[in-house]
Structure 1
Amino acid sequence: MGRWMKPEVYPLFAAVGVAVGVCCMQLVRNISTNPEVRVNKENRIAGILENFDEGEKYAEHGLRKYVRGRRPEIMPSLNKFFSDPE
Structure 2
Amino acid sequence: MHGFLDAGRVWDTVAVELRTPGVKGLALDLPGCGDRADHPGPFTLRSLVADVVSALDDIASPVLLVGQSRGTPSPNSSPPRARSR
Q: Name the TM-score class by shorter chain.
A: under 0.3
- Greater relative contact order structure (CA < 8 Å, 6+ sep): 2
| Larger of the two Rg values belongs to structure | 1
TM-score for both structures, normalised by structure 1: 0.21
> Which one has the bigger helix percentage?
1
